[in-house]
């Protein structure tokens, strides 16, 4: 085989599994050398029941293997045993009773063993971010980093099926925030073009712990690691001891990177080495993080992490953000982080309430972009013009902050204003190619209807989709709707002093001014039938106010036809087919101008 071209050998190795690659490398020195680059898969998964951070550090110190890792996924999922037991029972109901008992007994015995091994591992929030930063810097081809709180960390098939139900995963919000803060501090140091000076993170981390009290403090002793190996206990004890005098986040900035033989080269030794992330995702980010001053400040200082991102996917857990002031502050904090990533091409924002699974989050997109003037944090050069709200006569695409190259957008689980959503979409009309509204939300497996949709607090979907026609989104190629879509509005009845309007919603009439923002006038290509909403019988008059009719509404339940990667949806992803559910293909055709008749209808 040594006589074969190198390219052909690389092609052969690319189709082999890990065991076959190891066997082929034993045949000839040439295969041994070429196969080095195929020993490790490009995707590295750090699981909580094994010391994968140490494995990643060892890979980063290797002269050749450090080029193999392209993406790293940290799995911080905690299994809710009671809910997962119920879910696994229902998933295996079609088994024979004796077989079901044996399968579940074996699965939960394995799960208990994994949980014991998990307790023996030093948690990420007890590690020094400087070690993580040095590791990330040494991984030359690292471009993607993901954090998950919703996928099973254990290789158990029954548990993997159970984790499709979001209730099977629990979260310790305090520990999760500390893990994310340590990870962000490490990424900021790794992505910075030069090492940080001073204690830019130190005050944030110390204030964060002092403000949260004992519930969010580090373990006070090494008893939690009594079953850990000696090296793990020693490192955990050293990390915990260091937090009593200075936080790990603070030491990551104020102290140099480690220079021990087991650690990657220090940043000072390789000034040109820096981590360049393209993609970052978190599938359950505690939204309360953005309302705590210390945590906000820490994330605001991670500008180098977000500056180079082209893909950002955040699923925000809004369970603990209930008061209006807390919501405004959290939205402002999230908005500032988004504005630090002006080069995004793919943006996905999902809002999930794990306490009230069907609740949607009231979101102001103008607040998200910092146009209300209440945004905190240091000013951003590229966003300095975005605080003034655009005038009603100006185009939405001519003022305010925008993502310069945004091609893919997903919004899920939100309640917003029609004119607000329309203005946000038209602001990115020059680049937007694919649009997804809604999603699965907090739905379980394939037996649950999708719960993540979009609700309009003012306006109608007919008016929204009509305003996007006629070339106003010239590059739009695909649009996908999923979940429950709902809007309601009052209707004026013809009477004294009320002009005939063919039963156009009062909300639609009020949006005529909003239509001037990027979509003044009628569609050039609209037909006469498209100039009015779908025909309706005259609505009944209100019993006490003769000029006001009863409320009418639009309500749709869309099932998925594609997944988030625009591939055909699996049956589990699409959900059940019911008499109420429908697909969004006709709405996509309407917005893209392939059909003139609006596929929806008003009710009420």
What pLDDT, in 10s, does the model give residues 337-387? 999 999 999 999 999 999 999 999 999 999 888 776 554 555 554 443 333
In a domain, 308, yes or no: no
Q: Residue 285: is its pLDDT beyond 50?
A: yes
Helices then strands (H, E): number in the chain? 22, 16
Q: Do β-strands 169-170 and 78-79 pair in parallel, antiparallel, or remain unpaired? A: antiparallel
Within this chain, do residues 28 and 161 fall inside the same structural domain, yes or no? no
Determine the Cα–Cα distance for residues 46 and 77; give it in Å rounded to an integer: 11
**Could you tell me if residue 470 is left (phi over 0), alpha (psi between -120 and 50 degrees) or otherwise beta?**
left
> How far is residue 25 from each of residues 30, 40, 41, 69, measured CA to CA in Å?
8, 13, 16, 20
Within this chain, do residues 19 and 108 fall inside the same structural domain, yes or no? no
In a domain, 145, yes or no: yes
CB 447, CB 169: distance < 8 Å = no
**pLDDT single digits (tens) 287-318:** 999 999 999 999 999 999 999 999 999 999 99
Q: Which of 232, 262, 283 is the last residue of a domain?
A: 283
> What 3-state DSSP class applies to 542?
coil
In a domain, 434, yes or no: yes
In a domain, 489, yes or no: yes
pLDDT of residue 244: 33
Q: Classify residue 493 by its DSSP letter.
A: P
What would the two tokens of residue 400 be?
A: 């305010």
pLDDT of residue 241: 35
Write down the mean pLDDT value for the chain.
78
Q: Residue 228: is its pLDDT beyond 70?
A: no
Percent of the chain with pLDDT over 90: 56
> How many independent structural domains does the chain possess?
3
Residue found under tokens 């607000």? 420
Rounded mean pLDDT, 255-278: 52
- Tell me the angle at which helices 293-300 and 324-339 cross, rounded to the nearest 10 degrees: 10
Q: Residue 392: is its pLDDT beyond 50?
A: no
Within this chain, do residues 26 and 66 fall inside the same structural domain, yes or no? no
Determine the Cα–Cα distance for residues 499 and 502; give it in Å rounded to an integer: 9
pLDDT of residue 213: 36
N residues, the chain: 604
pLDDT of residue 4: 82
Within this chain, do residues 8 and 152 fall inside the same structural domain, yes or no? no
Within this chain, do residues 464 and 564 fall inside the same structural domain, yes or no? yes
Neighbours of 8 (CB within 10 A): 10
Pick the range with the lowest mean pLDDT from 17-31, 107-121, 542-556.
542-556
**148 — phi, psi (to 5°)?**
-125, 140
As a 3-state breakdown, the chain gives helix, strand, coil percent values, each rounded to 5, of 40, 15, 45
Q: Classify residue 152 by its DSSP letter.
A: -
Rounded mean pLDDT, 579-598: 95
Within this chain, do residues 218 and 103 fall inside the same structural domain, yes or no? yes
pLDDT of residue 369: 86
**pLDDT single digits (tens) 190-206:** 998 765 443 334 334 43
pLDDT of residue 211: 38
Rounded mean pLDDT, 394-411: 77
Within this chain, do residues 144 and 10 fall inside the same structural domain, yes or no? no
Which residue has better confidence, 448 or 399? 448
Q: Which of 283, 307, 341 is the last residue of a domain?
A: 283
CB 277, CB 145: distance < 8 Å = yes
Rounded mean pLDDT, 530-550: 51
What would the two tokens of residue 234 be?
A: 């020693």
Within this chain, do residues 535 and 573 fall inside the same structural domain, yes or no? yes
Determine the Cα–Cα distance for residues 349 and 361; give it in Å rounded to an integer: 11
In a domain, 499, yes or no: yes
pLDDT of residue 543: 56
Rounded mean pLDDT, 138-155: 95
What would the two tokens of residue 308 be?
A: 């180079």
**pLDDT single digits (tens) 437-453:** 999 999 987 788 899 99
CB 409, CB 439: distance < 8 Å = no
Q: Residue 504: is its pLDDT beyond 50?
A: no
Domain with 186 in it: 42-191+198-283
pLDDT of residue 253: 38
Determine the Cα–Cα distance for residues 431 and 406; give it in Å rounded to an integer: 6
Residue found under tokens 């739009």? 476
pLDDT of residue 444: 82
Determine the Cα–Cα distance for residues 492 and 28; give it in Å rounded to an integer: 84
Within this chain, do residues 152 and 59 fall inside the same structural domain, yes or no? yes
CB 353, CB 284: distance < 8 Å = no
Determine the Cα–Cα distance for residues 513 and 393; give it in Å rounded to an integer: 9
Of 459, 455, 572, residue with least CA distance to 514: 459
Within this chain, do residues 6 and 95 fall inside the same structural domain, yes or no? no
pLDDT of residue 434: 98
Q: Classify residue 35 by its DSSP letter.
A: G
In a domain, 412, yes or no: no
Of 85, 99, 78, 180, residue with least CA distance to 132: 180
> What 3-state DSSP class applies to 424?
helix
Within this chain, do residues 112 and 240 fall inside the same structural domain, yes or no? yes
Determine the Cα–Cα distance for residues 457 and 418; give it in Å rounded to an integer: 7
In a domain, 472, yes or no: yes
Determine the Cα–Cα distance for residues 164 and 189; give it in Å rounded to an integer: 35
Determine the Cα–Cα distance for residues 466 and 523; give it in Å rounded to an integer: 8
Within this chain, do residues 492 and 569 fall inside the same structural domain, yes or no? yes
**pLDDT single digits (tens) 443-493:** 987 788 899 999 999 999 999 999 999 999 999 999 999 999 999 876 544
Q: Which of 283, 318, 346 is the last residue of a domain?
A: 283
In a domain, 174, yes or no: yes
**136 — phi, psi (to 5°)?**
-65, -40
pLDDT of residue 373: 56
The model's pTM is 0.78
Determine the Cα–Cα distance for residues 400 and 387; give it in Å rounded to an integer: 7
Q: Around 556, how many Cα atoms within 13 Å sit in the side-chain half-sphere?
A: 25
pLDDT of residue 549: 55
């Amino acid at each position: 085989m040594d006589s074969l071209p190198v390219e052909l050998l690389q092609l052969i190795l690319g189709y082999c599994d890990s065991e076959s690659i190891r066997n082929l490398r034993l045949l000839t020195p040439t295969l041994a050398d070429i196969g080095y680059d195929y020993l490790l898969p490009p995707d590295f998964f750090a699981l909580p029941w094994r010391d994968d951070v140490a494995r990643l550090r060892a890979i980063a110190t290797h002269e050749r293997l450090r080029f193999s890792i392209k993406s790293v996924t940290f799995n911080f999922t905690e299994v809710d045993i009671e809910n997962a037991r119920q879910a696994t029972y229902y998933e295996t109901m079609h088994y024979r009773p004796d077989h079901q008992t044996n399968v579940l007994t074996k699965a939960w015995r394995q799960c208990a063993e994994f949980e014991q091994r998990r307790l023996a591992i030093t948690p990420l929030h007890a590690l020094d971010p400087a070690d993580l930063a040095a590791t990330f810097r040494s991984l030359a081809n690292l471009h993607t980093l993901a954090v998950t709180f919703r996928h099973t960390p254990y290789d158990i098939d029954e548990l993997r099926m159970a984790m499709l139900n979001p209730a099977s995963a629990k979260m310790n919000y305090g520990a999760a925030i500390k893990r994310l803060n340590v990870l962000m501090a490490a990424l900021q140091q790794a992505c910075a073009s030069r090492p940080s000076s001073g204690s830019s993170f130190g005050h944030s981390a110390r204030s964060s712990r002092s403000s949260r009290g004992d519930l969010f403090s580090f373990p006070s002793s090494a008893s939690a690691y009594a079953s850990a190996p000696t090296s793990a206990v020693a490192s955990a004890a050293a990390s915990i001891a260091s937090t009593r005098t200075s936080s790990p986040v603070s030491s990551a900035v104020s102290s140099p990177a480690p220079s021990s033989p087991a650690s990657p080269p220090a940043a000072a030794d390789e000034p040109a080495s820096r981590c360049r992330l393209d993609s970052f995702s978190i599938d359950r980010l505690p939204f309360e993080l953005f309302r705590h001053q210390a945590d906000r400040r820490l994330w605001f200082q991670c500008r180098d992490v977000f500056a180079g991102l082209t893909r950002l996917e955040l699923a925000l857990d809004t369970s603990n953000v209930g008061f209006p002031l807390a919501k405004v502050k959290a939205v402002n904090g999230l908005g500032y982080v988004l504005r630090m990533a002006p080069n995004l091409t793919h943006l996905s924002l999902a809002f999930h309430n794990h306490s009230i699974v069907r609740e949607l989050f009231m979101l102001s997109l103008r607040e998200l972009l910092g146009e209300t003037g209440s945004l905190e944090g240091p000013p951003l050069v590229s966003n300095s013009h975005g605080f003034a709200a655009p005038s009603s006569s100006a185009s939405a695409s001519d003022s305010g902050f925008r993502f310069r190259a945004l091609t893919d957008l997903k919004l899920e689980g939100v309640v917003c204003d029609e004119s607000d959503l329309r203005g946000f979409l038209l602001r990115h009309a020059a680049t937007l190619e694919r649009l997804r509204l809604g999603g699965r939300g907090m739905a379980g497996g394939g037996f649950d209807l999708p719960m993540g949709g979009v609700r309009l607090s003012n306006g109608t979907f007919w008016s929204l989709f009509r305003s996007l026609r006629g070339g106003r989104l010239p590059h739009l190629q695909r649009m996908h709707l999923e979940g429950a879509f709902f809007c309601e509005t009052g209707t004026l009845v013809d009477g004294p002093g009320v002009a005939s309007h063919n039963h156009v919603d009062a909300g639609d009439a009020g949006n005529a001014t909003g239509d001037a923002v990027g979509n003044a006038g009628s569609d050039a290509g609209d037909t006469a039938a498209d100039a009015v909403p779908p025909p309706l019988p005259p609505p009944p008059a209100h019993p006490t106010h003769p000029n006001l009719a009863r409320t009418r509404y639009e309500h749709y339940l869309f099932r998925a036809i594609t997944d988030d990667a625009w591939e055909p949806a699996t049956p589990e992803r699409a959900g059940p087919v019911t008499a109420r559910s429908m697909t969004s293909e006709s709405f996509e055709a309407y917005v893209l101008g392939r059909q003139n008749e609006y596929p929806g209808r008003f009710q009420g």
